[in-house]
Chain A
Amino acid sequence: MSAHESRYSWGGDEHLVVQISEAMSLEANFKAMAMASALDQDRASGITDICPSNASLLVRFDPDLIAPTEVERLVREAEASVGLSTKQELETRIFELPVWYDDPYTNETGARFRDRHQTPDKNDLEFAAMENDLPDAEAFIRAHEGSPWFTSMVGFVAGLPFLFQMVPQERQLEVPKYLRPRTDTPKLTIGHGGCFTAIYSVRGAGGYQMFGITPVPIFDPEQKLLDFKDFMIFFKPGDIVKFRRVDEAEYTRILAEVEAGVYVYKQAPVTFVLEEFLADPDAYNARLLEVLYGN
């Protein structure tokens, strides 16, 4: 498959899948999101779900209401329109997510599943540091929280974001998954597998390395907090997130705010322009953080 030619394939009689690229890149992800947004703008009846993912697009439809050939025509049209646009930009938002790195909850869970891990004598952070030629866990944490992350996909389970680090590929943190998946992961664990960080929205099985935990909900079926007033899921594809390291005291304080129902996400709207980011990621990220922190 060439870099520019997408692969179209039927997923049974209810899905069309477009593989934009086999490799992950921000460009491929952006194309998936732009296609999704073009399809959604004037959504044909019978198209039930438009799901952009890291480097592909899944469209679910009801063939009793729309012919599959018509779905394919619309998706190809969306792809063509995206290819023609000169400026790849996205109206989105940037927000902060506090993380207690190297916390006892994920460390304890990791310790229970050492027989499934590459390095039974190290914890996940120490292993991740080693894999990325960093001197220690501390250096890895600094690299992880040092740059913003781009939400390239939401899914797996309800509201779980896949996050792609907004740095040039040679600087991206990459860590293999566990050798065999765990049967348990604490809710709100910050995990990492391959080049993606994920936040476990619910407790459950998982194979990503565990680096820390956030006190802030990202999935709230009871919709208690203000940020969940309209919908039970916080993350949307295209969201930009900045992790901020907190210690146990601050974790506990934020958790109390969440439990009291008064926690509000620190966030700001932002227009993300792909070309400007790619031209100078570090300078662009610094501007994004100015938007978030209002300096």
Chain B
Amino acid sequence: MAIEIMETGLATSIQDQGRVGYYNVGIPPSGALDLVSAAAANVLVGNDPSAAVIESAYMGPKLRFTEPSIVAVTGAQIPVLVNDQEMPLWESFAVQAGDVLSFGILQGGARMYISISGGIDVPAVLGSRSLYALGAFGGFQGRALQSGDVLPVGVGNGRPGVVIPMSLRPEFSREVDVRMVLGLYDYRLTKKGLSALLDQPWQLTTVADRIGFRYDGGALDWVERIQPFGAGSDPSNITDAGYPVGSIQVPGGVEPIILHRDAVSGGGYAMVGTVISADMDLVAQCAPGAQTRFRPVTLDEALEARAAARNRRTSILRILD
């Protein structure tokens, strides 16, 4: 069983639930940017939630199945077609040998996940099948997918007609609140700089990929100081340090960047807060132009949000029960 890539779509790669435990040597978690949508895609086709799926951004790939199978598409709101017939999202369906799956025009969200019963069977590297493109390993041959690639598929036991109920699917908006915990080097911002970050919406730029999401909207002021030894000369520089996944840095005081799951693990820019784990999937589903407010929450609120997100995930994983 295999999948042939006929057209790649955009930023199409193999991802699973990520690679844990190598951040101390600069290997980021990788994995699906919208983890819950990827897990849901797997559950629909009878896979373990951590199986490998195909992730694309904005434009879906076109692919052909070599044998009958069960597939599902989750994530962004986008028409999905089999041989030009529209199929439902968030629902498993059967495909026959030679069927071609393709996509229409994106209507909401940003990233879609294609699962197939049995999972994409590329070799696991350091415990994960996820592509880490900067390191050129994982995924399919350590790179994004190209037309002509033939992806091996494992043995599955999925069935068609399994549905994730509407209430468990994400909703997409062009205006989002992203919750974050202030801290890290936020003391480097002036009061005015901090208000500039929090009191106005920021617009997501076209730099919005697996590494980071960059926002446009204004400039932030830093507290004047003589830079410490080892830090760079710009007031936004620090002595190079580890970056939390989801941390927000503001190089030069303009265009805040949220680091996502393929980001650099450290560097010399001051971080002023970190997006809470529950909202990383939400960020992943934002497309350029999204009006974004950074909303500070406490650690306890972040943990409550995490618990709520976990409940939704658990409900999704139990739809077959």
Binds B, one of A57-65, A87-95, A276-284: A57-65
Interface residues of A in 169-218 (CB under 8 A from B): 169, 176-177, 193-196, 201-202, 204
Q: In the bound complex, do residue B229 and residue A25 qualify as a contact, i.e. CB atoms below 8 Å apart?
A: yes
Contact of A11 among B134, B184, B228, B267 (CB under 8 A): B184
Bound CA span A60–B137, Å: 23
Does A252 make an interface contact (CB < 8 A)?
A: no
Bound CA span A202–B239, Å: 22
Does B198 make an interface contact (CB < 8 A)?
A: no
* B228 CB contacts on chain A under 8 angstroms: 21-24
Bound CA span A221–B123, Å: 13
The minimal Cβ–Cβ distance linking B130 to chain A, given in whole angstroms, is 13
The minimal Cβ–Cβ distance linking B239 to chain A, given in whole angstroms, is 5
Contact of A196 among B137, B181, B230, B233 (CB under 8 A): B230
Contact of B25 among A15, A25, A154, A193 (CB under 8 A): A154
Q: In the bound complex, do residue B229 and residue A24 qualify as a contact, i.e. CB atoms below 8 Å apart?
A: yes
Q: In the bound complex, do residue A158 and residue B303 qualify as a contact, i.e. CB atoms below 8 Å apart?
A: no
Assess A158 versus B26: contact at CB under 8 Å? Given A48-B20, A196-B230: yes
Q: In the bound complex, do residue A159 and residue B25 qualify as a contact, i.e. CB atoms below 8 Å apart?
A: yes
Assess A12 versus B277: contact at CB under 8 Å? Given A23-B228, A24-B229, A58-B244: yes
Number of chain B residues whose Cβ lies closer than 8 Å to a Cβ of chain A = 53
Q: Which residue of A lies closest to B307 (CB)?
A: A64
Q: In the bound complex, do residue A169 and residue B245 qualify as a contact, i.e. CB atoms below 8 Å apart?
A: no
Contact of A53 among B241, B247, B277 (CB under 8 A): B241
Interface residues of B in 261-301 (CB under 8 A from A): 264-268, 271, 274-278, 299
Contact of B134 among A64, A202, A235 (CB under 8 A): A202
> B residues touching A (Cβ–Cβ < 8 Å)?
20-27, 125-126, 132, 134-137, 142, 180-181, 183-185, 228-233, 238-247, 264-268, 271, 274-278, 299, 302-303, 306, 310
Q: Pick the 5 closest A-B CB pairs, nearest first.
A: A24-B230, A11-B244, A58-B242, A12-B274, A23-B228
> A residues touching B (Cβ–Cβ < 8 Å)?
9-15, 17, 19, 21-25, 36, 48-58, 60, 63-64, 68, 153-160, 162, 169, 176-177, 193-196, 201-202, 204, 219, 221, 232-233, 235-237
